[in-house]
Chain A
Amino acid sequence: MNIEITEGLWLDEFGELSLAEMEAWSGLTEAELQQLVECDALSPVTTIEPAAGRSISAPRFSAQCLVLARAASRLRDDFDLDANGLAVALRLLDRIRELEAELHHARAQRPR
């Protein structure tokens, strides 16, 4: 049995990931990530303009986006969703998470 202490990376709004990292860690392809960005289902924090000779821009994402991208990858695999279906599902999931966060905040403030 191997016991070791390991450090991790917080997937929060402060970390930043490249497109390549998002692709490698989420299981989505670069094209799928680009499509989700185009549909506003994923919002990059910065978009670097295409360098000479490159056909696409290279957005950078908040590390939080990886959580959504991984959910997108699972939904794509488990429900055979196409890019449009995936974008709709992600936007709804994101909305649900926002509402759950608001509900959690409201509950915390409410006296027991």
Chain B
Amino acid sequence: MKYKDYYKILGVERTAGADAIKKAYRRLAHKFHPDISKEKNAKEAFQEIGEAYETLKDPEKRAAYDELGSFRPGQDFRPPPEWGEAHGEGRGVFDDMDLADLFASLSGGRHRGHAHGGAFPIPGQDFEVAAQITLEQAARGTEFEVNLAVPEAGADGFMRRVPRTFTARIAKGAAEGQRLRLPGKGGKGLNGGRDGDLYLIIHLLPHPLFRASGHDLYIDLPLAPWEAALGATVEVPTLHGPVHLKVQPGTRSGQKLRLARRGLPNPREGIGDLYAVVQIVLPAELSEQERELLRQMKAQSTFDPRSHFTETAA
């Protein structure tokens, strides 16, 4: 079993009082709580902080933790053999447990007693897992493999992490941030408590061409100045293959040209749209002939793109 230094995790001395421990937990919870934190590793950090606090806030658990002794974080150690024997189990009982499982099992016999004794029902743990999928997968629907380590009470009454693998079907039309609830796919309930649920949080991976907003898609549409000025028919990629888009003469930069029903499917409201956002671009290098044509245009045009400056100032 790997040792975790719960005092170090909370940033307190081993002699810290209950108030200092609570204060340290609160401070760290404000920083790392996944519902309010923007830290990258918030979920993992808060899990560790919660685990440490769960043990150190309870005088019985804290005394048991202190009894383990002090090791380096991550160092292998064995709980005193009499802990297993006290529960009528052999020396190997702790072999496939981690520290959190150990204290969940030993905390006043809470889980163990319930697993065997039939006290009040305890619901299983809910899990939230990020499902990163591509836009193409979101458009077509996909399957996502979920691997969880779910705490379950074994026949010996001790809690252990049990690997669970299953495939979740994500129907077509998933959008960024949407959540899919998979009932009963979390931790096992105890004493008739309901099994926990799994929540998949959809994250769309960045696409080299398209940007999604809800079920609508956006793509940059670079146009040469003469295409924007004179109009053109251009090929635009979509998730289902290229289409031809007619660009009206006098199209301006930043204009959004809508391609109806070329976005992501929305299972409840049809299909989103694709918007081509016009960008008027110049060649990286101009030939002498191109320069000459532009000079001629400059000489003959009365167009003043900044006329509104003087109109506003006046």
Q: Which residues of A line the B interface, CB within 8 A?
A: 1-12, 14, 24-25, 66-67, 70-71, 74-75, 78-79, 93, 101, 104-105, 107-109, 111-112
Contact = CB atoms under 8 A, between A and B. Distances in A.
Contact of A9 (B164, B181, B194, B256): B181
Given A1-B165, A4-B166, A6-B167, A111 B220 contact: yes
B50 to A, nearest CB: 7
Contact of A6 (B29, B163, B185, B199): B185
Given A78-B33, A108-B211, A9 B180 contact: yes
A108 B169 contact: no
A112 B281 CA distance: 13
B277 A8 contact: no
A109 B169 contact: no
Contacts of A3: 165-167
Contacts, number: 89
Given A11-B180, A109-B277, A5 B143 contact: yes
A79 B180 contact: no
Contacts of B181: 8-11, 25, 66
A8 B166 contact: no
A108 B218 contact: yes
5 contacts: A6-B166, A6-B168, A8-B181, A93-B36, A108-B218
Contacts of A14: 268
A2 B164 contact: yes
B253 to A, nearest CB: 9
A20 to B, nearest CB: 13
Contact of A1 (B163, B185, B213, B256): B163
A9 B277 contact: no
B176 interface: yes
A104 B29 CA distance: 27
B178 interface: yes
Interface string B36-69: 1000000000000010000000000000000000
A13 to B, nearest CB: 9
A7 B33 CA distance: 29
Nearest to A73: B126
Given A11-B178, A14-B268, A108-B211, A2 B220 contact: no
